[in-house]
Structure formats: structure tokens, C-alpha cells
Amino acid sequence: MRATSREALLALLACAVTLLLAAALGSKPLIDTLMRLAIFGLYAVSLNILVGYTGLVSFGHAMFFGFGAYAFGLLMQTGMTSLPAAALASLALSAVLALVVGALCIRLADIYFSFLTLAFQMLLHAVILSWVGLTGGDQGLQGGIPRPRFLGINLADPWQVFVVTMVAFFASLLAIRTILQSPFGYALRMVRDNAPRAAALGLPVQRYKLAAFVIAGLFGALAGILMALYVSGAYPNFAFWTLSGEGMFMIMLGGIGVFLGPVLGAAIFLLLNDTVTRFTEYNGMVMGVVLLVVVLGLRQGLLDVVMARLRPR
Amino acid sequence: MTAHLAIADLVKHFGGVVATDHVTLDFPPGSLTAVIGPNGAGKSTLFNLITGRIRPDGGRVLLDGTDIAGWSETAIVARGIGRAFQIASLFPSFTVAESLAAAILAHRRQTHRMLARFPLAAARGRADEVMHLVGLDAHADRLAQHLSHGDQKLLDIALALALDPGVLLLDEPTAGMGRDERWQIIETVHRLWSARRMTMIFIEHDMDIVFKIAQSVRVLKFGRVLAEGTPAEIRDNDEVIAAYLGTRYAKAAP
Ligand SMILES: Nc1ncnc2c1ncn2[C@@H]1O[C@H](COP(=O)(O)OP(=O)(O)OP(=O)(O)O)[C@@H](O)[C@H]1O
Ligand SMILES: [Mg+2]
């Protein structure tokens, strides 16, 4: 109980400091950077629920990012008038998608699980590309996403989008952290460490894998919704396999064994991406080398290494 | 007296191998039984069938008269059968205390709770108790993966014990240990049984241990029950001597 309220306070403080800082500096590039960091940080943390905590290596996590973004954008474009209701509805739809896809994937072991998730994501990507009438095909959702006022909040205003995104980001981190430190979170770690032993102790392993898949999918979809709000649109690359790969890159780089590792990984990823593309078009190659150095050199993510140093033996 | 656990005509094939061949066995309440037999006799398979890890091809497993053959592991654990493994099967990144608390929460169906903080006070209290019972208190905060081999086996047993099972199955509790360590762990196991009087079945290759602590012995070979009886009867059983024991344990012993 005490640890939980300390973390809540921490999240609140971090959120307040970020907002104050951004308000004081009022810098557009800073706000843009923070927006992307929050969106991709949340996306990476949600993927790590599966990879780092449950031991389920999903190659198709971007399917939820893309689905959340399109569902939200389409609901708003096709007549839903309440923005929060559309967001909630797209989360509910994403949960259903995760439940169905998850139920089919978790039956498979290891690499087969990974590739089936990838296959579902490619399917979604193909649907987005080919259902031009609904999705705009490779052009993405056309004409912007309507953002009517609600509760005095105006999300057509970039600053207000920023505030809402930051609040959603820190609240989500707190929620995920709470879930991972709960008995449920430790059940996921049991599955990761030794699923047969967990089953022999009475844990219904498949049900927990599925629950983890749905929770990860929900927060992945939330990241997608925030992205759709931010760019006022949705694009096929939201659901492309490269985004799944980048998520994996972020968590490997930052560390899968530490809660905030994926956020650090996302920060480094965005930084690299922005600076490297300024100097060379071979940014894929540079990123590949960085990942090789971290994975082969440290054999862990950056925060994993730091935490291992700090922890008494 | 009716059996606590009774196995009737149990059959299991793996491809062409008959691992369990029409096995029928009874285990009275509160009994301490050793299961012995050569490598590949089907001893571990028997445990896997009883606990629902694998499904039998035929036959029944009666727990207090209820046929649990074919039930899920989860349902069978809930009925009060716990087990430890031939090769210690642990959660490497958990500390000893966390491992036990997690096992307790899983068994009590508390692991769906997402808002409470792990470990709940009740689970921690019970974990402390179990650690004390098996003598792992000093290692409470060590990671399972950093324990010595003997302590890993002990933790594996403790995980099963944490469920407070009515039937406890121990698959070679002394596997891979030196002589002294072996007797230490067997003393612990015997003390646990004496204190709780659960129905305990253990697989063991060390005949000195079997003859010292078991109330009765079941001998398996090629998936079949070769013999059953008291340690003295088994020691003098010509078939068992020929098939498994050799002459070392025959009548010569006092
Ligand atoms: N999952 C499985 N798949 C295929 N064959 C199996 C499986 N489990 C056991 N067997 C086979 O069944 C037979 C019995 O194996 P089991 O592990 O029960 O023997 P055991 O009596 O425990 O031997 P040990 O003393 O070496 O532990 C062996 O021939 C083994 O190869
Ligand atoms: Mg065996």
C-alpha cells in the first residue's frame, strides 16, 4: 500500500514537472519531442509487459497501435460526437481484437507464437491498405480527425493535446506499474520463469498469458489513439511490422528487466533516429550497429546493466 | 481403511513405449510410501499421470474416491495433490520468500488481484512458516538461481509444501546429492511427514534411505508393478532382487 502511494506521488510529480517545464520553455520542438517520447515510451512499455514480464515475444504488437489509431479516427469521422466515448470504444474494440488474436496465438510455443502474432499484424496491415473506401489505403485517413470539445477541453489546441497526452502517459505508467507489482504481475513472472512449474502449483497458465496479451494490447492501442490525436490522422505504417521491430529495439536497448527501461530505450531510439537521419540516409544501418553493440557488448539493456550494478549481490 | 489415493488399471503409451502398463496401486491416508525401480521404469510418468501433467490413455486415479484422471493440473492441485520434481523446478529470478509467497497466492486463487501489492501479508506469513519448516529461513532473500543444489531441491519441496497438500509426491528428493546432504534432506522430509501425516509418496534410488524411512514400498519395472510390500518383504523378494536390487540388500542384512 505504501509503496503504491509513493509511486502514485512520483508519477504525479513527474507529470507536473514535465508540464511546468514545457510551459516555462514554451518550445515547440521540445513539446513535439516529449509527445513522441510519451507515445512511443508507452508503446514500448506495453510491449514489455509481454516480452519482459510474461516471456511472450510478440513480433506483432504494432497491430494494436495501428488498430487503436484507426478505430479512434474512424469512429470520430463517422459520426461519434464524444471524443472520450470514441477513445473508450476503440479501447474496447482493441481488447476484443487482443482477446481473439491472443486466444489463437498463446496456444503456440516460442517462435511459433512470435510468427503468428506477426502474421496477424501483416493481415491487419493488408486490410488497411486494401480497404481503401474505409481507410484511405496507403494515403491514410483523409481529412483529419474531428476533435470536438468535451468537459471544457479543446483538443484542436496543440497545448491541450500535449497536456492530455502527458497525463495519459504518466497515468498509464502508474497503472502498468501497479499491475506488474501486484499478485497478478508476479503470476506473469512465474509464467515467464517456468510455466510448467507454475501450472504444477495450480496457476491456469494459459489464462494468464491471455490476460497479459489483452492488457498489453490495450495500452498499445492507447498509444495509437494518442498518436492519432497528435497527428490528426492514421497511417498504414502505424500497423506495419517495422513498428513492431522498433518496439523490440527500444526494449532491448533500454532493458527488459527494469520497468522504465523501455522508456529510456524509446528516448534513445528517437534521439538516434532524429540525429542520424540528419546526417545520413543509412539510419537503419546505424541503428542496427547500435543494437548489435548493446546486445553483444552488454548482453542486456542499458538500465538492466545499471540496476545490476546497483543491486547488492 | 479406504485408500486416500488409489490408482486403477492406469495405462500410458509414448509412441511404442508403454510407460505405464495397467498399474493398480493403493495409498492409505497418512502413509509414507517409496516407489522404486530401474531407470525408465515409469516412476516419474506415474507422478505425471497422478498430477494431471499428462493424460492417461486409460484407467482411473481416485482421490478420496473421486476419479481425477484427465483433470487439469490446476483442478488437481486444488484438490490437494502437490509435487516436487526430479530436477528442481524453480522460478530462477524469484527470491526464496517470493517463490513461496507466489506459490501460496497461486494456490489460493489470489493471483488475479491487480491492485494489491505483492506479496499479501497473509501469503508472506505462510511463506515464512514454510521456510522455517524446511530450514530455508537464512536464505529468504536469495534468488532461487543462486541457491546451492541441495537448497534448490529443498525449495522445490517447499513450493509443494506451501500448498499444504493432502498428498505430497516427491520425485527423487535426494537426486544429485552427496551422502551427508542426502540424509539431511531425508530427515527434513521425514520430519515433515511425521508432523503433518499427509499421504507422502517418494521416488528414491538409494535403498538405504528407502529401507530406513518407508512404511511400504512399490516396485515398478517396464511400466508394471513388480512387487509391493513392507521394506522387509521387498528386501527378501526374489523377483525384486533379480530385477533390481541385486544381492547386496538380500537377507544378509540384519
Ligand atoms: N514425455 C515423454 N515422451 C516420450 N517418452 C516419455 C516421456 N516421458 C517418459 N517417457 C518414456 O517413458 C519411460 C518411463 O520414463 P520415466 O521418466 O517415467 O522413468 P523413471 O522411472 O522416472 O526413470 P528415472 O529413474 O530415470 O527417472 C521411458 O522409456 C521414457 O523414455
Ligand atoms: Mg524419473
Residue holding cell 509391493? Answer: B228
The answer on pLDDT for A115 being more than 80 is yes
DSSP state of B145: G
Q: For residue B254, what pLDDT band results from cuts at 50, 70 and 90?
A: very low
- For ligand 1, atom 19, the nearest C-alpha belongs to B40
Residue B214 has a pLDDT of 95
The answer on pLDDT for B246 being more than 80 is no
Residue A289 has a pLDDT of 80
Residue from the list B85, B91, B105 with its beta carbon closest to the beta carbon of A193: B91
Instruction: Give the three cell numbers for residue B238.
Output: 526374489
* Contact check, Cβ <8 Å, B73/A187: no
Cα dihedral: B169, B240, B205, B63 (round 10)? 0
Residue A208's closest chain B neighbor by CA? Answer: B112
The answer on pLDDT for A113 being more than 60 is yes
CA distance B207 to B7: 24
- Model pTM? 0.92
What are the pLDDT digits (tens) for B144-183? 999 999 999 999 999 999 999 999 999 999 998 888 889 9
- For ligand 1, atom 8, the nearest C-alpha belongs to B45
Ranked by mean pLDDT, which of A106-115, A268-277, B63-72 comes out on top? B63-72
CA distance A148 to A154: 7
Lowest mean pLDDT among A66-75, A144-153, B216-225, B227-236: A144-153
Residues in B touching A199 (Cβ below 8 Å)? 53, 73-74
CA distance A214 to A42: 15
DSSP state of B117: P
* ipTM attached to this prediction: 0.93
- Span A46-63, average pLDDT: 96
* Contact check, Cβ <8 Å, A199/B120: no
Q: A37 or A139: whose pLDDT is higher?
A: A37
What are the pLDDT digits (tens) for A85-107? 999 999 999 999 999 999 999 99
- Span B245-254, average pLDDT: 58
Where along chain A do its domains lie?
3-239
Q: Please tell me the number of Cα atoms within 13 Å of B34 on its side-chain side.
A: 29
Domains of chain B: 5-245 (3.40.50.300)
DSSP state of B57: S
In ligand 1, the atom with minimum distance to the C-alpha of B42 is 18
Cα-based angle A31, A32, A35 (whole degrees, multiple of 5): 85
